[in-house]
Amino acid sequence: MKKANKKTKILVFVLTIIGVVVVPSLLICSPPSTVTMRNLGSTPLMGWNGWNRFRCNDEVNERLIKETADALVTTGMKEAGYAYIVLDDCWQIERNSWETIVADPKKFPSGMKALGDYIHAKGLKFGIYTSAGVLTCEGRPGSFGHEEKDIDRYTEWGVDFIKVDWCGVDDLDALVQYDLWRGLISKSSRPVVFSIAMPNLGKERPWLWGRAISQMWRVNNDIRDSWESIASIIDVNEPLARYADQNHRNDPDMLVVGVGNLTAEEQKSHLSMWAMMGAPLIAGNDIRTMTDTTREILTNQEAIEIDQDATESQGKQIQKSQDQEVWTKKLAQSGANAVALFNRGNYPSIITVKWSDIGYLAPVLIRDVWEHKWLGFSQKKFSREVPAHGVLLLKVYGLITNKGKTTQLPPLHTTSDGFLSDQEWIYAENGHGPVEKDMSNGETDSGDGSTLSIRGQEFNKGLGVHSYSNILYRLGDKCRLFHAVVGIDDEVEDKKTGAIFRVYGDGQRLYDSGIVTMSFMPLPISVDISGNRNLILQVVSSDPDTTQYQHADWADARVFCNQ
């Protein structure tokens, strides 16, 4: 009897891992098993939010939400995984005499508790919108100064998801405000998904600190129902893959499938690339009146499985030539990858992928996700003509090496007992140059500072910063005390320089030094941090019009934690 050659062995291996039954002269292929739907926060959130279709108009009312809940069930959207109904801006009308937020009684005559009960009775979850500032983006009452009261109110209503926007904020600090929300939500009696929505992105870059604060964060300005908007968002999100993990997601915004004038091909590409990026899938169309084409796109279970597969949190671009790209996303099944041949150009184009670039040993078996059919085996490479603004979305199965892994950030570091300069922060921003460990701020490169010195007293340990500065640490469960000696470093030339040192625990201000100038002796501080998860050390200018020479020292900065 002949021994099987190498290619035969590989072929049998490929067939085995995907569930192909081998019998004499016959190959019977069965699709891989469906991915088990998620636990809270473990895979990208799926749901509906009417903002992209209804905005702030009068149609956003109790009737719309109830009919949408009904339609999610009857159209198969719920079965496909769309579980959350999120009520966006314009549901609120005022605060009453007790400063409690009030829903518009004309739009929601039965009240929000009854609305939440209706949604839950359908087996769905209830989401709500607010803003971190005084006003929402549409000028309705925001949550600033009422965060705890609002969360208590949402808990009474049975809210399962809170989207917090960034309007009406003036000079508020995003890191501090969103950490305040995180801390309060974590202490509420109801498990809630927390979404950071910052459409007016500037220096904030929430992906740098989002993992320590929320389950998902926006990475771009509001999506529009145009191909240009979709393509530009993909460009923004592509390099951010390393910041996502199984429980934390870059959010490229809600879907515009079934909204506006996108072609069917563009809508398939939109959903395909959101799936490849492991993005939240939040439909934004009118579910009640959607066409069969829109429904089929939104409920393509094979595409949804790619999105919901958390083996690789966000896919990556491995090839780009002008407007033609190849993306991959590792899947849970052994030897399986999602592969997207993406043509963002205005004309049809042939796109080729070499399987060795993904790490495959030929042959591989290919399945077309949109046609729902097997394309057979492919050897070293695969080519297809992809329509303008189109994607060929594939599932590929074979024998794979370790080539092409995505580099993920390490797990969030938890601070333990000891000096903070000996430990890793989660995030740091600084007015000039980097935050320095065990030296003053030199304003340019790492390590260009001097010995920490305040009014002639030198310190071997500590952090050297320049306002405006934030440093975020994640505390262990048993940390109880923060200690430091603060002051303006002696290297400052302007003797009138002043700064303010602040300590935050879970977004709550625990300490404020007031204005500290060069004339101050070293100021020792001790702050009770027990019960807090996150610690933020902040230095701001005493004069908002200038930050020159504000070299500030957190000398001997350390936390005391029970072992």
Catalytic residues: 165, 222
Ramachandran angles phi, psi of 472, nearest 5°: -110, 125
DSSP single-letter state for residue 66: H
Helix (H, G, I), strand (E, B) or coil at 215: coil
102 sits in which H/E element: strand 101-103
| CA nearest neighbour of 50 among 78, 105, 89, 93 | 89
3-state SS track over 226-258:
CHHHHHHHHHHHHHHHHHCECCEEEECCCCCCC
- Cα angle for residues 500, 506, 511 (degrees, 5° grid): 30
Task: Provide the CB-side half-sphere exposure for 464 (13 A, CA).
Answer: 32
396 contacts 337 by C-beta, under 8 angstroms: yes
Tokens encoding 30 = 């069965």
- The most distant pair of C-alpha atoms in the chain lies apart, rounded to whole Å, by 93
Burial of 97 (0-12, 13-18, 19+ CB in 10 A): exposed
Rounded to 5°, the CA angle 49-55-59 comes to 90
The 10 Å Cβ neighbour count of residue 292 is: 8
Could you list the beta-strand ranges (E) of 336-372. 336-343, 349-354, 360-368
Closest CA to 270 of 154, 188, 162, 391: 391
515 — phi, psi (to 5°)? -70, 125
**Rounded to an integer, what distance in angstroms lies between the CA atom of residue 473 and that of residue 439?**
19
560 Cβ contact partners less than 8 Å away, ≥ 6 residues apart = 417, 479, 480, 481, 482, 483
Q: Is the bond preceding 468 in cis, omega lying within 30 degrees of 0?
A: yes
- At position 323, the amino acid (one-letter code) is D
Q: Give SS3 for 299.
A: coil
The residue assigned the tokens 């500065």 is 469
Q: Are 381 and 355 in contact (CB under 8 A)?
A: yes
